[in-house]
Structure 1
Amino acid sequence: MVLSKYQERQKGQLGDFIYLIVILGLILMIAAVIVGGFWYMITKGLTKVIGILFMVIGIFLSVLLLEQTKHLLVGILLIIIGIILIIIG
Structure 2
Amino acid sequence: MKTINEALNWRYSTKVFDANKKISAEDFEQIKDMLQMSPSSTNIQPWSFVIADDDAGKARIAKSTQGAFHFNTPKVLDASHVVVLSYAEKTVEPNLVN
TM over 0.5: no
Q: Which is bigger in relative contact order (C-alpha 8 A, separation at least 6)? A: 2
Normalising by structure 1, we get a TM-score of 0.32
Instruction: Name the structure with the higher helix share.
Output: 1
